[in-house]
Structure 1
Amino acid sequence: MIENNNARRTGNRLAHLKLASGAAALALALSAVPVSLPSPAFAQSYTFTDVAIEGNRRVEPGTILSYAGIARGQTVNAAELNEAYQRIQGSGLFEEVEIVPQGGTLLIRVVEFPTVNQISIEGNRAIDDDALLPQVQTQSRRVYSPSQAEADADAIADAYVQQGRVAARVQPRVIRRSDNRVDLVFEVFEGGVAEVERIGFAGNSQYSDRRLRRAIQTKQAGFLRAIIASDTFIEERINFDRQALSDFYASRGYVDFRVTGVNAELSEERDAYFLTFNVEEGQQFRFGGVSVSSDLPEVNAPLFREAVRVRPGTVYSPSLVERDVARLERLAIREGLDFIRVEPRITRNDRDLSLNVNYVLTRGERIFVERIDIEGNTTTLDRVVRRQFDTVEGDPFNPREIRETAERIRALGFFRNAEVNAREGSSPQEVIVDVDVEEQPTGSISFGGSYSTSSGFGIQVGFSERNFLGRGQQLAFQVSTGVSNQRYSFNFTEPALLGRDLAFGLDLSYAETNRDNSEYNTAIGTFSPSLTFPIAENADLQVRYTARYNDLSIPDESEVGQIVRSEAARGEQVESSVGYTLSYDTRRTGLDPTAGVLLEFSQDFGGLGGDQQFIKTAARASAQRLVYNEEVTLRATVEAGALNYQGDGSRVTDRYFLGTSRMRGFEPGGIGPREFDDGGDIDDALGGNYFAVARFEAEFPLGLPEEYGISGGVFYDVGNLWGLDETNDNVLYEDGALRQVVGVSLFWTTPLGPLRFNFSEALQKESEDKAQNFEFTISTDF
């Protein structure tokens, strides 16, 4: 086994000229060719009548002569012979070269570089061969090149550096085979992952290190470092973090913020980095005067001024200005004004720390979109990418719309990378928009198990695909089975029905329970298609149809009360209803990056066929705000619902129940009306036709190392569940009082998802309510 750098040293040692004349030897010595022969010091010229070539197998003699550049009968001196040698050696075809003048004959001896038989990589575990071999430019059955092998080794090492293994070393070695062939082996020493041990900030006073660490992508290494990739040091990610910090401060009015430098210190063990971001925050600015102006006669400036949403006194944010620019340009299109550009001109007032914004409407260049080219989408259909454009071929070109389109394409989540650029088309008045994407996996399969004292062991199997058949459709189904319950669900969403901003959804489900937390059995199946479309900025409307099969039965040995028994006597029922949901969501697009609001109102009207006539109404309002320099998160939710069933009224399978998702501190069915006898044989949770709940909570750091991902919280819930269509003397709490719960929470962000542990105590409850002092859930946003 011979190292390639040894091969290079051998080539340099053997690369010398043997000249018969001592004078020529001295001349070559003066030309820095490493030979040493005793000779008198005088120059000599040569004329060769013949050139002989030895040692070549694959390379034609004519090729070698062309590199030498010496013709028969040509008079040459020692310097020209040296240049001929350098040209032959520099061709990269030969391991050894000798030029030997022998009277009137010039003898050229060569040893050709071997051909590469096969290429392999050894010692790699963290990165597979399939990911490393594309970095290698050396090819089998081609001439071996030591310099290219070194370059390939560097490329493999760079692949490890991108994964944070800065100590990785790659050594190319060659194994000699017969017939002048070699096997090229890259021996890899991977080393350990260089983690980010600590992230610090210098120069920040408005926001703590803890808050700024949440704004960047790189994370500190924690005790789960073996499975967390975001704590690995990757140099390219640092550039992204610099931009993330700039965006964070800019959205909060700090227009002068800048990152002056990033110090990355490698530990002595070369297995960890210490990062320090040096920042200058500057002052926070707010919007001052906001105006709209134009010297174009066809522009109605007051009309455009009414479309501006930013108000004086609001904390300045470039994104708010960008949204106003988009609104004004859309208004110009609706008014039939083409090629109108909105230029925000900002005047700075350092005295009161305000920025005056004047939106100037001007006439832009008359440039059209010639065509849109999409490349790299091996799975996703062109139309899925193309429908993210508000622009089509032939429309006026708007650079801002192209930037927004690029963001929408990236937000799809179908592509690992997406670049959208414009270039000049067939004429200066036309542009071609190039979209270059790189696909990534969009499907997942999940398997799980569960156990509870009431329902025993259970198995869950699920499949989801966010880009079904490359059409941008979402498809998911799940099967959950246990000893006493089974549930099957299927969900399908077409986000652009008929190529429009109209989402079609289809939900199918079927669930059976067999005395699960009750003394009765249920079978419920639903079929619900829906259409969802925007009606205003941040506002959507969903309309739907729902068909619901509902069966309630009682086993012979069950002890149930009179109400459930009478409801079960109705047998199987089918409901048919139409409904709608209005939603308003500013959690991502609101004026304040530290706050958000979600409002929902829905109604379903039963009686379009089926066995029941009813009206079901529900409403929810949620809000969130970050306070104390965004260290503490405050959340509040108010939720209510009402059922109004005609005829025989609602059944236990129709009514509301308050469980952990709506009110913490109680078991599912733990509060509200229930039929109960003093002997304890009957204890049926009946649910209620009405409910109202208010939830308040605060989340805050606990002072633990941030890399643990652990924070704390406190909460207070108050609510009630009431109302039945049928009652008797054994029914309790039909008009029960409010229940109140306080508790503390432990939030833990893990690679498996955000987990939440609640410890609660009921401040106010009824005697037969079922309290639950501890629960473990998956944490979700409001």
Structure 2
Amino acid sequence: MPRLPHRLGAACHGAFDRAKPLLIPAACGIALAAGTPALSQMVNAIEVRGAQFIPEQDIQMTCGAEAGIEYIDLELRAIEDCLMSTGVFETVSLFREGDTLVIDVQELDTRPGRIDATLAYVSQDGVTGSLSYERYNLFDRTYGAVNLEFGAEVQRYSLNLFRTEAFETDFDLGFELAGGRDDYDDRSYTHESLRAETYLGWALSPSTRFEAGIGYRDHRLYDLDPAASALLVLEQTDGISAPYVRLGLRHEQIAPAEDGKENWDQFGYRISLDQYFWNIGSDDPLSDTRLETQMQFPLASNMRLLFGFDAGAVSGTSGNATRAIDRFYPGADTFRGFAPRGIGPRDGTDALGGNTFVKASIELQRDFGEVYRTPFHAGIFLDTGASWGLDDTLGGTIDDSWQRRSSLGLSVVFDVGKTPVSLYVATPIEHQPGDERQVFGLSLSTRF
């Protein structure tokens, strides 16, 4: 984006030959006609207020507001006019608070509701269809979304509401209602879940966000096959209904996408940490911790190295045992080279999940630009990790020990028309008897 020079006379001198369509020529004329010098003041910081859906950095840079520059009042008025000329703001006001320049905006409601129908395939769930509706400013400063997802083995639904600057504070307020049913054909039981949660979000910094939520969940493990594991028989339940608490922390330093393309030229990382306390006040209280991390190291303008580390741990906090519907099941897209629920403790053909899991991955990716007029990049990867630990091994008849698995493979991402396609081919290089393998994985989604 072109920036507004910090001396207004310079802006007037070359505004048109540099083709700055967002600047208002009248501001230049006023400044030149005044003919008298104006006092300027150094700005050491920029703060954007009132932004709901437009990124604050975009608002700041569109018309060239920058820290470390002296501004006179006429220059501030010119930046106001420039921002108003974009047609996305109802009001714009620039003013100083000490050495901070405040850009206070009120956005126009230019984002109507949208309805999407999607047909997707992922290795975990097979073919699924979804119908979704979303609207920004469904209510004042409130985003709303409804999503329905259905397939042969899985059905899910969710409702989300999110309000910025709730109660005229720096906190955001959210509400989520989510539920579903899954009955995978490689599993000996059916799982149903329904939960509702209200949460507060607080941006500790532009790159760090903290969330705290309280909710209520009902979930059940039922409809067991006659040949199901004896452990699953012990763990079946018609329903556990109880409150829960969630704490979440997100931090990321990722270069923003440019023209819809990822920025491969800069180092970046993201970290996500969630802590759940499930089933509070019941006989089955649980502590559930989940960590996701990813780092990007640029090697060239078209090549990068990706590192990932994911981990989780769940345990009873009152001497109680976990259930199959509480534990972790790495596989398929979350552990390439192995089938969904393909690794971890097993009893015969029944995957039981593990109380703990870790997975590390390293992938070298190259962007090949456009191949046959479609964006195309590919990589080579190594995944390694394990899922282990049960509270009840049926007298030692189930092996729940740490046993590392690893896989090596190739990944490809490209578009078919407007449909993004991600696929991989992987082979396990470390595995255990009873593991379910999956050499090929595919993920695609097309929107109607």
**Which residue of 2 is the match for residue 559 of structure 1?**
227
**Which one of 430, 446, 449 corresponds to residue 117 of structure 2?**
446
Q: CA distance change for structure 1 residues 701 and 487 in 2, over 3 Å: closer, same or farther? A: closer
For 1:616 and 1:605, locate their aligned partners in 2 and report how far apart those are by CA, in whole Å.
Answer: 6
Provide Cα deviations, 1:34-61, integer angstroms capped at 9, x if missing partner: xxxxxxxxxxxxxxxxxxxxxxxxxxxx
Contact 1:448 1:461 in 2 (8 A): no
Q: Among 680, 701, 716, which residue is 2:382 paired with?
A: 716
Q: In 2, distance between residues paired with 1:686 and 1:567?
A: 11
**Alignment partner for residue 286 of structure 2, among 596, 603, 614?**
614
Instruction: Summarize deviations over 1:322-358 as a string: whole Å, max 9, x none.
Output: 9x7448xxxxxxxxxxxxxx997xxxxxxxxxxxxxx
1:438 Cα offset (Å): 8.6
Q: Greater strand share, 1 or 2?
A: 2
Match of 2:162 among 493, 498, 503: 493
Give the match for residue 214 of structure 2: 545
Deviations 1:428-480 (A, max 9, x none): xxxxxxxxx6935452321437799x9897543222223325x3422222222
Aligned with residue 572 of structure 1, among 239, 259, 262:
239
Asked if the contact 2:111–2:136 (Cα under 8 Å) also holds between the matched residues in 1, the reply is: no
* Structure 2: runs of 5 or more not aligned: 4-40, 48-64, 257-263
Partner residue, 2:172: 503
User: Is the Cα contact below 8 Å between 1:674 and 1:687 reproduced in 2?
Assistant: yes
2:145 to 476, 484, 487: 476
One-letter identity of the residue aligned with 1:627: L
2:254 paired with 1:587: yes
1:464 aligns with 2:134: yes
The 1:486/1:727 distance shift into structure 2, 3 A limit, reads: same
2:427 pairs, out of 733, 755, 761, with 761
> Does the 8 Å contact 1:541/1:581 carry over to 2?
yes
How far, CA to CA, are the matches of 1:609 and 1:515 in structure 2? 31
CA gap of 1:544–1:368, structure 2 versus 1, over 3 A, is: same
Post-superposition shift, 1:734? 0.8
Give TM-score, length-normalised by structure 2: 0.73
**Once the two structures are superposed, what CA deviation does each residue of 1:85-112 show, in whole Å capped at 9, x if it has no partner?**
xxxxxxxxxxxxxxxxxxxxxxxxxxxx
Matched AA of 2:115: S
SS in 1 for 2:402: coil
Alpha-carbon distance between aligned partners in 2 of 1:737 and 1:560, rounded to the nearest angstrom:
24
How far is 1:776 from its partner? 0.6
**Which residue type is aligned with residue 616 of structure 1?**
D
CA contact (8 A) 1:698 1:714 kept: yes
Q: Is the 8 Å Cα contact of residues 376 and 412 (structure 2) preserved in structure 1?
A: yes
Alignment CA distance shift 1:751-1:692 (3 Å): same
Of 524-533 and 481-490, deviating more is 481-490
Offset, 1:368: 9.6
Q: Distance in 2 between matches of 1:537 and 1:750?
A: 35
Distance 1:491 1:377, change over 3 A: farther
Deviation at 1:481, TM superposition (A): 3.0
Secondary structure at 2:361's aligned position in 1? strand
Matched to 2:132, the amino acid is G
Q: Determine if the alignment matches structure 1 residue 641 to structure 2 residue 277.
A: no
Q: Higher RCO, 1 or 2 (CA under 8 Å, sep at least 6)?
A: 2
Q: Could you list the per-position Cα deviations for residues 363-417 of structure 1 after superposition, in whole angstroms to 9, with x for gaps in the alignment?
A: 9669999xx9998999x9x8xx66xx7x68x866999644xx67x96xxxxxxxx
In 2, distance between residues paired with 1:574 and 1:766?
37
Further displaced range: 756-765 or 458-467: 458-467
Deviation at residue 641 of structure 1 after TM alignment: 1.2
Q: Does 1:665 align with 2:337?
A: yes
> Offset at 1:601?
2.3
Matches within 5 A, 1:507-526: 507-514=176-183, 516-526=185-195
Q: Secondary structure at the residue paired with 1:636?
A: strand
User: Partner amino acid for 2:415?
Assistant: T
Contact 1:713 1:745 in 2 (8 A): yes
Residue deviations 1:692-715, cap 9 Å, x none?
A: 110111211458647321222111
Any gaps of 5 or more consecutive residues in structure 1?
1-239, 245-295, 300-321, 328-341, 345-358, 410-436, 677-682
Q: Deviations over 1:236-268 (max 9, x none)?
A: xxxx8xx79xxxxxxxxxxxxxxxxxxxxxxxx
SS where residue 235 of structure 2 aligns?
helix
Structure 2 distance, partners of 1:472, 1:661, is 36
Q: Is the 8 A contact 1:366 1:396 kept in 2?
A: no
- Structure 2 CA distance for partners of 1:449 and 1:775, relative to 1, 3 Å: closer
Aligned length in residues: 382
Asked if the contact 1:598/1:623 (under 8 Å) is kept, the reply is yes
Distance across 2 between alignment mates of 1:567 and 1:664: 29
Instruction: Flag the structure with larger Rg.
Output: 1
Q: Give CA deviations for 1:634-653 in whole Å, capped at 9, x if unaligned.
A: 11111111112133311111
What CA distance in whole angstroms lies between the structure 2 residues aligned with 1:455 and 1:719?
A: 22
Secondary structure in 2 aligned to 1:669?
coil
Distance 1:464 1:752, change over 3 A: farther
Give TM-score scaled by structure 1 length. Answer: 0.43
Counterpart Cα distance in 1 of 2:422 and 2:125: 23
- The answer to whether residue 208 in structure 2 is matched with residue 536 in structure 1 is no
Q: Which amino acid aligns with 2:311?
A: A
Change in 2 beyond 3 A, CA 1:399/1:752: farther
Partners of 1:450 and 1:720 in 2: how far apart? 26
SS of the residue corresponding to residue 564 of structure 1 reads helix
Matching of residues 177-216 of structure 1 within 5 Å? none
Q: Is the 8 A contact 2:302 2:368 kept in 1?
A: no
Q: Supply the distance in 2 between the matched residues of 1:644 and 1:449 (Cα, whole angstroms).
A: 34
- State how far apart, in whole Å, the 2-side matches of 1:612 and 1:401 are: 51
Aligned sequence identity (%): 20
Deviation sequence 1:744-778 (CA, Å, 0-9, x none)? 01110345343211000000011110111001125
The alpha-carbon distance between structure 1 residues 490 and 750, as it changes in their structure 2 partners (threshold 3 A), is same
Pairing 1:744–2:410 present: yes
2:269 paired residue number: 597
* AA of the residue aligned to 1:535: L
- 1:698 pairs with one of 364, 371, 386: 364
Does the aligned pair in 2 maintain the 1:446–1:463 contact within 8 Å?
A: no
